[in-house]
Copies of this chain bind each other. A is one copy, B any other.
């Protein structure tokens, strides 16, 4: 079982009420790959500049991550994002975005990468996401993420990709923005009507809602006393979620629900420290322990009349 991810590897500058870092590793594909690699083999397709050192690349070392598809462009710089959070850690304020090598990114899927079990199109231009779909074979499961910027600037291109994937991972506000429908359940059904069988709605500190044609599943986020840096939580969630699914022989409601919890577990670790610092130090045992914590957090018993 393997998973192919196409997305960004980046440098971030971050400021939160709890600290500040001028250059740390970030990017959707980075968080995604490290999270997914706890469960399955990951093939990474992304681009970096010549400022991306071997030490930076060490985030992928010793994990089930193949970085042959990580293109290094000489004479250019890596995608850079600078963001700031106030005490309301739900809202990131972008201070600077330098696309650099990412501006001309043309993802190329090699012959070896063409038949992944699961394909994840991280948050990039929906035109590129569609081109990747044309190159890849027919994975068992295709999923994508997106963002408000593409919904407003490339709505029709995004809709074309929605029609071609099995699973959409998206923020709550983006569901409403894409459909222009205030009721979340109705809005989700509109997206499901385009083709995807499953919609996974990220609600930040309120957790996740998963909607399929026949069921709804709600999972809370893990209530943490110390949220240090929310950057990458969504991509980490997607990595844990799809990584777990890729590791299973069958994908059905029961496994989708477990996968939502594993994604939530991974995301809850990410926010405990800056960048991928926490994700890099945890073990699969700690992941399984927090899975049990989620059971305790959500369990209630049946009621006998």
Chain A residues in the interface with B (C-beta under 8 A): 17, 87-89, 182-186, 189, 203, 205-207, 209, 211, 215-220, 223-227, 254, 257-258, 260-262, 288, 291, 295-303, 305
Contacts and interface: CB of A to CB of B under 8 A. Distances in A.
Contact of A218 (B185, B209, B223, B288): B223
Given A215-B296, A296-B215, A185 B301 contact: no
10 contacts: A89-B182, A183-B225, A185-B224, A186-B225, A207-B220, A209-B223, A219-B300, A262-B303, A295-B300, A298-B298
Contacts of A223: 184-185, 209, 211, 216, 218
A242 to B, nearest CB: 16
Contacts of A301: 254, 257-258
A189 B223 CA distance: 12
A240 to B, nearest CB: 12
Given A183-B227, A225-B183, A300 B206 contact: no
A172 B291 CA distance: 25
The 7 nearest A-B residue pairs measured at CB: A218-B220, A257-B300, A87-B182, A206-B206, A185-B225, A185-B223, A218-B297
Contacts of A17: 182
Contacts of A227: 183
Contacts of A297: 216-218
A300 B209 contact: no
